[in-house]
């Protein structure tokens, strides 16, 4: 096997950079032929992943967070190349979905053993994603976490909760017209919509707790707008996946999802934040080959 390892040194506030000697040592002592590339800025991982495909690499390894993995996925999508993930970010939800250990050593071992499986691949706003997309309040929280609290020494759910409090008083909902598989139609005043292949986002929040990453379907969670105090009271339930029993929450499964918003809103896609007012989701069953324990 010939592998390109793409390292984002800024991921996890330097965790990936600190992991680099361990990654280098483990791969150098293996039978895998590997090269390491250290990214320099946004989009660099996608470009290097595309070059790796053109150069005939069998695997491309993302050593970083969900955003780095998302860039790599957008470089290899549509090609017979295996994705490996070494979790070095703040949330690492794709690694959670892939059942990759948190330990750098153990994550590398998963790749070096060479076991693979296929999982579904999503596409929206002309980008691919491997785990989840959140629209509305949760995306505004993700934007706050990634931009306003980038230098804070916390990660995962604690970072998400801090960003949530910061976002709470500023967020304004919007009207959302949602079409599921060209049949089910909803018109709601939106707090958030999550479209998931994996179960978690935000560093382990089980927003679509029944999602199966290789069933050819999205799991969709819609939550109607509620007051700030209600958000705070229901947050503990969401952290445990118990929000699904709330009357303002709805869970659906779908092959395709179309969302039309009354205004441009933030969306977070595998750790990357974008903005849009119209989204057409399609799914590619088994479209991504990954290393798996």
Question: Maximum Cα–Cα distance for the chain, whole Å?
Answer: 57
In whole angstroms, what is the distance from residue 283 CA to residue 217 CA? Answer: 7
Cβ density class 1-22: b for 16+ within 10 Å, e for less: eebbbbbbbbbbbebbbebbeb
Residue count of the chain: 293
Structure tokens at 75: 């470089």
Which member of 175, 272, 275, 280 is catalytic? Answer: 272
Q: Is 272 a catalytic residue?
A: yes
Q: Distance between the two ends of the chain, CA-based, in angstroms?
A: 17
The CA-CA-CA angle for residues 53, 56, 33, to 5°, reads 110
Q: Which residues are designated catalytic?
A: 272
């Amino acid at each position: 096997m010939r592998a390109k390892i793409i390292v984002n040194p800024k991921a996890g506030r330097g965790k990936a950079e600190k992991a680099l000697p361990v990654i280098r040592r483990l791969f150098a002592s293996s039978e895998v032929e590997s090269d390491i590339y250290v990214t320099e800025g946004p989009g660099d991982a996608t470009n290097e992943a595309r070059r790796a495909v053109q150069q005939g690499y069998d695997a491309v390894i993302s050593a970083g967070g969900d955003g780095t993995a998302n860039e790599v996925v957008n470089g290899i999508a549509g090609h017979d190349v295996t994705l490996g993930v070494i979790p070095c970010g703040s949330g690492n939800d794709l690694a959670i979905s892939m059942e990759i250990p948190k330990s750098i050593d153990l994550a590398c071992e998963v790749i070096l053993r060479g076991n693979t499986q296929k999982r579904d691949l999503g596409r929206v706003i002309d980008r691919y994603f491997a785990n989840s997309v959140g629209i509305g309040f949760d995306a505004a929280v993700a934007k706050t976490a990634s931009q306003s609290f980038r230098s804070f020494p916390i990660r995962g759910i604690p970072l998400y909760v801090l960003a949530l409090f910061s976002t709470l008083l500023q967020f304004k909902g919007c009207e959302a017209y949602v079409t599921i598989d060209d049949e089910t139609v909803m018109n709601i005043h939106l707090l958030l919509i999550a479209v998931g292949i994996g179960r978690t986002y935000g560093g382990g929040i089980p927003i679509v707790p029944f999602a199966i990453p290789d069933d050819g379907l999205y799991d969709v969670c819609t939550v109607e707008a509620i007051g700030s105090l209600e958000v705070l009271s229901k947050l503990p339930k969401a952290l445990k996946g118990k929000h699904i029993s709330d009357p303002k929450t709805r869970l659906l499964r779908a092959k395709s999802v179309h969302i039309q918003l009354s205004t441009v809103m933030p969306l977070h896609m595998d750790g990357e934040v974008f903005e849009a007012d119209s989204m057409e989701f399609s799914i590619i069953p088994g479209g991504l080959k990954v290393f798996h324990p």
